[in-house]
Structure 1
Amino acid sequence: MPMVTVSISPVQAAGIREAVDHGGYASSSEVVREALRLWDAARKLAEYRDDVLNDEDRASGSRCVADMFADHEAERRRSA
């Protein structure tokens, strides 16, 4: 698997450590991979909206990646 080095804020690093320490994830890499999967899904959804929906529909239904991630985390906790 290719290695990539990134810089994150101390708050983001603490959030990753907390997720691992509380047993939600096995490693920090797992947290980052999941975040990237969510980012990719959000990007694909945005592309779909650009192709299919009109401007009014996009404005009323747009969601940021942070919202999607929060929803995903809440669902994961409910399933645990």
Structure 2
Amino acid sequence: MPEIIKLLSEERNINLLESIFKYFEEVSNDEDAHLKNIFSITVLEILGNDRSILGTAQKYMGTKTIQLQIEADRALGRI
């Protein structure tokens, strides 16, 4: 995640960010609840720690990833 945060803060390698978030959308749409839970904890909760990074990330997120990120924030008591 530190490298992804760095990519988002620099927002220079757009193609790589698009590829990463395309993969994130695939994970978000997976049927495996355990996988989605791990993804939420290790990726989405971290993205929600910094609102400016999250704002940048949302440009690349698919609809299901956005939905899971909102759920991750709610689970932590963030709005």
TM over 0.5: no
Which structure's CA Rg is the greater one?
A: 1
Higher relative CO (CA 8 A, sep ≥ 6), structure 1 or 2?
Answer: 2
TM-score normalized with structure 1 length: 0.29
TM-score normalized with structure 2 length: 0.29
